[in-house]
Structure 1
Amino acid sequence: MLEIYGMTLGPIQENGYVVVNSETRKALIFDPGEEGARFINWIKENGWEPQAILLTHTHSDHIGAVDEVRDAFDIEVYVHELEADWLVDPNKNLSAMQPFGLVSLREAEHIWTTDDLGEQTVGDFTFRLAHVPGHSPGHVIYIFDDAQFVVVGDAVFQGSIGRTDLPAGDYATLMGAIAREILVLPAEYQLYPGHGGATTVGAEMASNPFFDVFRR
């Protein structure tokens, strides 16, 4: 059985997630943004065994602890090809715009391409990979159909959507991708965003003001 756990990290209150097989304790890590030592200790205290780090996107608040975490568990990193170089470039990952220090990391070991969209297996875990650009060009989401939950990064929040006023953001692109990849999922699917609390497809379709256009 798959379970998902979150920890809110750093000054921008970003959610890092761990998806765990409750029987084997194997795990996948998503978006370890800050506070690497606290995040690592939490994982160790729970006896989880991470197999990889999967990134939804590479804005600095989602990647700040990546190197610390991957070194602690000797695991590898997955990122979309359109943001592969953002890991090493503080201007692209926007840490150069923030007062919290520059983020420049090692390159990812694995690069998602268009050919990888759809069903994927990493370690002991199978999920669907979908490209949801607009907040950033290489933003992806991870859909766990058997467990009926999705790690959505900064695509959708409770009652809102990801910012599109940042460099390389685009409102129309994000709205189209949300409609195509997220709102078509069953209403009961849980959405785990990069900031704030979890929600469901049905709740957002019913009340998110950004989706009024889809309810007409």
Structure 2
Amino acid sequence: MSASLSLEVVPVTAFGQNCSILWNPETHHAVVVDPGGDVSRIMAFIERHGLSVDAIWLTHGHLDHAGGADALRKVLSHRQETPVPVIGPEKGDAPLLASIPEQAALFGLTGLENVTPDRFVTHGEKLECLGHEFEVRHVPGHTPGHVIFYDPAARFALVGDTLFAGSVGRTDLPYGNHEQLISSIRRELLPLGDDVTILPGHGPATTIGAERTGNSFLA
């Protein structure tokens, strides 16, 4: 990350999902990306670092990425005495965001909640935050409304469950489409450039270049 932007991953849920907290170390303003659950753990980090959260961003509507978003929004809005909006994904994921307890029940999980975003995002829009500009890119296939958040200046992208180190997102779940996912990755992620670092929703960070040459799903 750049000198003016810090990032910490807080693993949440039984799936070890990478809830990412981005913040400006000078202003202590922050954005929380994909708070799938374990809100007390996320809040402990926020309070330990004295952060003020400006927004919650969602890459897509699966339980482990969005299941804690509504609870976190409520806690933060009360603590900061100002509304903290939930932003994203694209509206194609609205049915998933409205069925999180049902998704959780399939895996024997409880305590995760539906969330209605304050607004959905659209492909190509820019999000100004923390002194940086993030591009929203629609990368469907894992889910219909899946988006990524790309910072061209920092050469970094939060890619949710689209592309992983050595793998790609699952498409055997409802609304999944493998051919669409591979096509979306080729169209929206690979052109970003081999030097771009990506942080997936699970597992370690990697680069576009490493996945272009070493990911068998993209061969």
1:56–1:141 CA contact under 8 A, matched in 2: yes
Match of 1:86 in 2: 96
Q: How many residues align?
A: 209
Give the TM-score of the pair, scaled to structure 1. 0.90
Report the AA paired with residue 85 of structure 2.
Answer: E
Tell me the secondary structure at the aligned position of residue 86 of structure 2.
strand
Q: 1:85-104 counterparts in 2 under 5 A?
A: 85-90=95-100, 94-101=103-110, 103-104=112-113
List gaps (5 residues or longer) in structure 2.
78-83
2:193–2:209 CA contact under 8 A, matched in 1: yes
1:180 and 2:175 equivalent?
no
The alpha-carbon distance between structure 1 residues 102 and 90, as it changes in their structure 2 partners (threshold 3 A), is farther
Could you tell me how far 1:178 is from its partner in structure 2? 0.3
Could you tell me how far 1:96 is from its partner in structure 2? 3.5
Aligned counterpart for 1:4 among listed residues 2, 7, 11: 7
Match of 2:16 in 1: 13
Tell me the secondary structure at the aligned position of residue 192 of structure 2.
coil
1:130 and 2:137 equivalent?
yes
Could you tell me how far 1:63 is from its partner in structure 2? 1.3
* Percent identity of paired positions between Structure 1 and Structure 2: 34
Report the AA paired with residue 176 of structure 1.
Answer: S
Give the TM-score of the pair, scaled to structure 2. 0.89
Match of 2:122 in 1: 113
Report the AA paired with residue 78 of structure 1.
Answer: I
- Counterparts of 1:31 and 1:127, CA distance in 2: 16
Tell me the secondary structure at the aligned position of residue 190 of structure 2.
coil
Aligned counterpart for 1:155 among listed residues 131, 145, 162: 162
- Counterparts of 2:206 and 2:214, CA distance in 1: 11
The alpha-carbon distance between structure 1 residues 199 and 9, as it changes in their structure 2 partners (threshold 3 A), is same
Tell me the secondary structure at the aligned position of residue 94 of structure 1.
helix
Match of 1:202 in 2: 209
Report the AA paired with residue 75 of structure 2.
Answer: A
Q: 1:60-79 counterparts in 2 under 5 A?
A: 60-74=63-77, 75-79=84-88
The alpha-carbon distance between structure 1 residues 37 and 48, as it changes in their structure 2 partners (threshold 3 A), is same
Report the AA paired with residue 72 of structure 2.
Answer: V
List gaps (5 residues or longer) in structure 1.
none
Aligned counterpart for 2:35 among listed residues 20, 32, 35: 32
1:90–1:102 CA contact under 8 A, matched in 2: no
- Counterparts of 2:175 and 2:182, CA distance in 1: 15
- 1:7-65 deviation digits (Å, cap 9, x = unpaired): 11111111100111222111111001121101111111012221000000010011121
- Counterparts of 1:125 and 1:69, CA distance in 2: 23
Tell me the secondary structure at the aligned position of residue 129 of structure 1.
strand
- Counterparts of 1:106 and 1:7, CA distance in 2: 20
Report the AA paired with residue 170 of structure 2.
Answer: R
1:132–1:141 CA contact under 8 A, matched in 2: yes
Cα-Cα RMSD: 1.7
